[in-house]
A = this chain, B = another copy of it.
Amino acid sequence: MTTVLIGVDWGSSNLRAFRFNPQGEVLETRHAAHGVTRFPAGEATAAMLAGLHDWLDACPGVPMLLCGMAGSKLGWREAPYLPAPADLATLSRGLVRFEAEQRQVAIIPGVSSFEDCAGFRDVMRGEETQALGLSAPVPLLIAPGTHSKWIRLEGARISGLHTAMTGELYAILRQHSLIAGVTSDGPWDAAAFHDGLNNARSHPDWLTQLFGVRARGVQAEMPPSSLAAWLSGLLIGYELVQGLARYPDLQQVAIVASAPLSDHYASALASRGIESQLIDGDQAVMRGLWRVAKEAQLV
């Protein structure tokens, strides 16, 4: 079982590593909570390497290819964002390459996009590699999460992106705001979620709607776990209202996320008449890493 590449998607919170054989098949996968933000400044790279030391020992001289926050200031070595449009060739040419651990190391740069409709230079790290790893072309890849990414594709080329702060806002409202006291985890209430979605479509006054979550809770209009689903629907609903304004003719998207989040987005998009194709994140990033490695002649 010859390993020819160690591929790593090293994100903010988590690490996913893959050992590839010469055919590009994955021999072994490792998941760990060793994201760049989990360690004190300056210690992340050593900790990441320590977590992979058995692979590194077993595969002397085998190149490493990394994507995600590996290329951020907090990661191994900074890889400046490449401006969209960007494709496999662009990203491979833009690799940050160096020698370390007695092997070639390469880091895939993130992608930035200045879209006039947002007014600032939006950025992503890691999702570009998933986009390069799609098995079939789609016009739009949505990677929901803490910072939800909407990635515009033209064939195999990344032509733009925008980010919505949906997941982070949901988390801090649930944990740190007065909404925390009226919401709780519990069985998923799909009806409440869809009611929240509809509310976002009909009520643009979002600062008031956020207060409404608390008011509904204090007035016991909905049980706490249903109100959590309603808030999720409200925020995802606003993400869709704002995102779909940029894609008025959209009929199909790909979603890369784990369940249940991917299901919630698919259900939300279905309510807007848009069909979703669910993408396995591991598979996508795996294929993306391999394609870049081939293009850059690392393997």
A residues with a Cβ closer than 8 A to B are 117-123, 147-148, 162-166, 168-169, 172-173, 175-178, 199, 202-212, 214-216, 218-219, 221, 235, 238-239, 242, 245
Q: How far is the CB of A112 from chain B (nearest CB, A)?
A: 9
Q: How far is the CA of A256 from the CA of B117 in the complex (A)?
A: 35
In the complex, are the beta carbons of B203 and A118 less than 8 A apart? yes
| A178 partner residues in chain B, CB cutoff 8 A | 168
Which among B117, B172, B209 is the interface contact of A205 at CB below 8 angstroms? Answer: B117
In the complex, are the beta carbons of A208 and B176 less than 8 A apart? no
Which among B165, B211, B245 is the interface contact of A163 at CB below 8 angstroms? Answer: B211
Contact status of A242 and B204, CB under 8 A, knowing A165-B210, A209-B118, A212-B120:
yes
| A148 partner residues in chain B, CB cutoff 8 A | 207
In the complex, are the beta carbons of B242 and A206 less than 8 A apart? yes
| A212 partner residues in chain B, CB cutoff 8 A | 118-120, 122
Give 15 CB contacts A-B under 8 Å.
Answer: A120-B216, A122-B215, A123-B215, A123-B218, A148-B207, A162-B208, A163-B208, A164-B208, A165-B214, A169-B177, A172-B176, A176-B176, A204-B204, A204-B245, A207-B235
In the complex, are the beta carbons of B203 and A119 less than 8 A apart? yes
Beyond the given pairs A117-B203, A164-B211, A172-B177, 13 more chain A to chain B contacts, judged by CB atoms under 8 angstroms and listed by A's residue number, are A118-B203, A118-B208, A120-B215, A123-B219, A165-B177, A165-B210, A166-B207, A168-B178, A169-B207, A169-B210, A176-B176, A204-B242, A208-B242
| A221 partner residues in chain B, CB cutoff 8 A | 120
Main secondary structure of the interface of A (DSSP, over half): helix
Q: How far is the CA of A170 from the CA of B208 in the complex (A)?
A: 14
Q: How far is the CB of A281 from chain B (nearest CB, A)?
A: 20
Beta-carbon nearest neighbor of A115 in chain B: B208
Q: How far is the CB of A174 from chain B (nearest CB, A)?
A: 11
Beta-carbon nearest neighbor of A73 in chain B: B218
Which among B177, B203, B239 is the interface contact of A207 at CB below 8 angstroms? Answer: B239
In the complex, are the beta carbons of B205 and A245 less than 8 A apart? yes
In the complex, are the beta carbons of B119 and A199 less than 8 A apart? yes
